[in-house]
Amino acid sequence: MARTRDNSAAAAVFIAKKGEIDAMLGRLQSLSADHFNVDPDRITWGDVGTLSHYAELLKRITDSAFREGEFAD
């Protein structure tokens, strides 16, 4: 007879973490809509470097989530 495992605690934590991620994505979306708080007429190479760093970190996440790049099968 197979035993049924109660995963309700794990499911609750999973949903809470998903909520955290959704909130972070929403904040990033708003920040992006505001040009990451940079005046488009005053963009510097420092701003490009900062945005490149953000893109690199997000690429690591998306590569992992979609099994691409170094995470490809």
Tell me: the pLDDT tens digits for 5-54?
899 999 999 999 999 999 999 999 999 999 999 999 999 999 999 999 99
Q: Identify the band that residue 1 occupies on the pLDDT scale cut at 50, 70 and 90.
A: low
pLDDT over 70 (residue 2): no
C-alpha distances in angstroms, 7 versus 4, 16, 18, 47, 53? 9, 14, 16, 45, 37
Is the alpha carbon torsion for 23, 25, 29, 32 positive or negative? positive
pTM: 0.81
**According to the model, what pLDDT value does residue 4 have?**
75
Q: Are the C-beta atoms of 51 and 36 separated by less than 8 Å?
A: yes
Report how far apart the first and last C-alpha atoms of the chain are (Å, whole number): 35
